[in-house]
Structure 1
Amino acid sequence: MVTLLLTLLGLSALYFIVMWSMDIIKNKGVEGEDSNPVVGFFIGLVTDFMDTLGIGSFAPTTLLAKVTGFIKNDRLLPGTLNIGHTVPVLIEAFLFIQSVQVDAVTLLSLIAAAVIGALVGGRIVTKLPEKKIQVTMGFALIITAALMFASKMGWLALLGANNTALHLTGIALIVGIVGNFIFGALMMAGVGLYAPCLAMVSLLGMDPKAAFPIMMGSCAALMAIGSPKFIKEGLYPRKGTIALAIGGILGVIIGYQFITSLSLSSLMWLIIVVVIITGLDMLRKGLKKAA
């Protein structure tokens, strides 16, 4: 079962890399909006290091992109997040997905739902104007900060404190499929899947540990399959995103070495505060333009 899943993820990775490479080659030398590759490299290094440790990469990347001026057009944020982090997240999936047991039907059903959600969400997000992207991202960052706060306080862990199930059946499986479909669609708008997916499977009675292969498998697959929509539309800075991915790969490798020994408690609180401020700022800009 694990072999089949990893084979499918490998094929998804190949599809993504081919689509991305073709776009890069096709647009080589074409003038367009881009971002500083050096800044992108270090943003990828830091954020995917944190992603490997379970903090997530979307909110920190959005934060650092705004602080450093890495992304000047907010309409490019969803594409940058999804394209730039696809390869690092695929590597995470290959590193971690073999270490936790979970029912095959549950795992494949939820991953498939997330991929379909991403395909639907990608079509919607690529058509949104900048102001709507700003409002969407603003709400997404505030919700993400709330979930990060709940995780830091241990509330998410309490949801599954006595759960031992490694599978979903009946209504619970349907709820899980619908939930992951929604989370997959929201990923295309820049909303991270990890925290809401963990909360959902815990509420449905599963062992929280079972969420990890579901989360990582879902993100790896949906980003590889859904991101080419942003590539086709050209909604990402090419050079900057390549650097983001390269830094991210290194960040995953480093993070994997320190995952059992490094404490990021104080950094987590700082990220929560700044993510809220960034989210409110994006909401202010989006609502001001709408007005």
Structure 2
Amino acid sequence: MSAATILLIIMWVFAAVFFVVLVKDVVAHKDELDKSKMGYNVIVSMIANFFDTLGIGSYAIATSAWKFNKAVDDDLIPGTLNVAFGIPICVEATIFIQRIDMDPLTLVLMIAASIVGSVIGARIISRLDIMKIRVVMGVALILVAAITLCKINEVGPFGILGTARGLTGGLLAVGVIANFILGILMTAGIGLYAPCMAIVLLLGMSADVAFPVMMGSCAYLCPACGITFIKEGKYNRASTIPMIISGAIGVLIAGFIVTSLPLTVLTYLVCVVMVICAVMFFHDAKKRG
């Protein structure tokens, strides 16, 4: 049995446990569910996870959509992102971990580091008040917009072409530490994909290696930190399970039907929307909740 297969088996066992915890929490609070924005959130999840599979990322798209329509309360956005998108990302990881050859040790260590980071991050983020959440989300969107612009213009590490399929020695340590930090930031709504790709390229690995690393990391860390958000009640209970279903459908459509799309213009548009939403978060933060 290959390392990739073992990783996927463990991942889905963990995802199953996560889903049971989620269902129990939703059922326990069934009389408190606000379903007014459920239809909108289901569509957002499908679209966001569709583009996530293509490498654009889902967090910024979903955050912007929720912010514009006020479909998810600001203080619930980080938790909703990690809880609702956890299983769709597992579907992504299943597709890409099997497709792309990578050094097993590098993959396992970087994924493990992101899990530890996410658990620590969730304990911090889930206890922040709404004003701090708004500030964190505003900063997150600005950072992701800047990194995404670097990505599509091949600025900095995005312009480096490597060939390595894994890391050793000091470079492996750097990769592990970096993914640990990204795991923490992931719980604040800062998507892991773009910065992870930058790290992979900067360390001299092939660009395609970024896909199993970033998708595998998120597939493990989202359920890991998601359980913390569930226990804290810091996520949108009413829409989460329907969003999981629609998000998984979006992933499958992108993964098996779509082969190529003209994404550059769309990515620029997403960056503009992210900046606008960041300004909105900072403006709302001044109201102190």
What's 1:117 paired with? 117
By how many angstroms is 1:159 displaced? Answer: 3.7
CA RMSD of aligned residues (A): 1.6
Take 2:131 and 2:197, find their aligned partners in 1: how far apart are those partners?
A: 30
Relative to the length of structure 2, the TM-score reads: 0.95
Contact 2:229–2:235, Cα closer than 8 Å, also in 1: yes
Alignment of 1:1-291 (within 5 A): 1-28=3-30, 30-31=31-32, 36-71=37-72, 73-155=73-155, 158-161=158-161, 163-289=162-288
Indicate how the Cα distance of structure 1 residues 100 and 135 shifts in structure 2: closer, same or farther if over 3 A, else same.
same
Deviates more, 1:223-232 or 1:246-255: 246-255
Contact 2:178–2:199, Cα closer than 8 Å, also in 1: yes
By how many angstroms is 1:241 displaced? Answer: 1.8
Take 1:113 and 1:254, find their aligned partners in 2: how far apart are those partners?
A: 30
For residues 58-89 of structure 1, give each alpha carbon's deviation from its aligned partner in whole angstroms, at most 9, with x where no partner exists: 00000000112211x21101011111111111
By how many angstroms is 1:257 displaced? Answer: 3.1
* DSSP-derived class of the 1:289 partner: coil
Structure 1 unaligned segments of length 5 or more: list them: none
Relative to the length of structure 1, the TM-score reads: 0.94
Following superposition, which runs of at least 4 residues in structure 1 exceed 6 angstroms of deviation? none
For residues 161-204 of structure 1, give each alpha carbon's deviation from its aligned partner in whole angstroms, at most 9, with x where no partner exists: 2x111111111111111111110011111110001111112111
By how many angstroms is 1:213 displaced? Answer: 0.5
Indicate how the Cα distance of structure 1 residues 34 and 74 shifts in structure 2: closer, same or farther if over 3 A, else same.
farther
Structure 2 unaligned segments of length 5 or more: list them: none
* DSSP-derived class of the 1:227 partner: helix
Counterpart code for 2:167 = L
Counterpart code for 2:150 = A
Indicate how the Cα distance of structure 1 residues 35 and 83 shifts in structure 2: closer, same or farther if over 3 A, else same.
farther
Aligned length: 287
Take 1:264 and 1:202, find their aligned partners in 2: how far apart are those partners?
A: 21
* DSSP-derived class of the 1:17 partner: helix
Take 2:202 and 2:265, find their aligned partners in 1: how far apart are those partners?
A: 28
By how many angstroms is 1:158 displaced? Answer: 4.4
Deviates more, 1:13-22 or 1:149-158: 149-158
Contact 1:160–1:203, Cα closer than 8 Å, also in 2: yes
Take 1:8 and 1:156, find their aligned partners in 2: how far apart are those partners?
A: 35
Take 2:272 and 2:265, find their aligned partners in 1: how far apart are those partners?
A: 11
